[in-house]
Amino acid sequence: MMGAIHGLTYALDNIILEVCGTIRHTERNKTKSHEQRKEDISGLVWRGGTALNELHKTR
């Protein structure tokens, strides 16, 4: 049980760090269009969902 909790915490930490990094990068790069920003966010959501799915498989 502790291994699953540790794995979930690790996965969520990585997702949060990636989201924060993308937001910071987007703020610096104001030339991105709205569509490009939407693609960035949807990519993050997809990768986050994939990470959580992989974690669920290992339980």
pTM: 0.38
pLDDT of residue 1: 56
Length of the chain: 59
2-56 per-position pLDDT tens digit: 666 777 777 777 777 777 676 666 566 666 677 777 777 777 777 777 777 776 7
Give 48's contacts (C-beta < 8 A, 6+ positions apart). Answer: 15, 18, 19
pLDDT of residue 48: 74
pLDDT of residue 2: 63
pLDDT of residue 40: 73
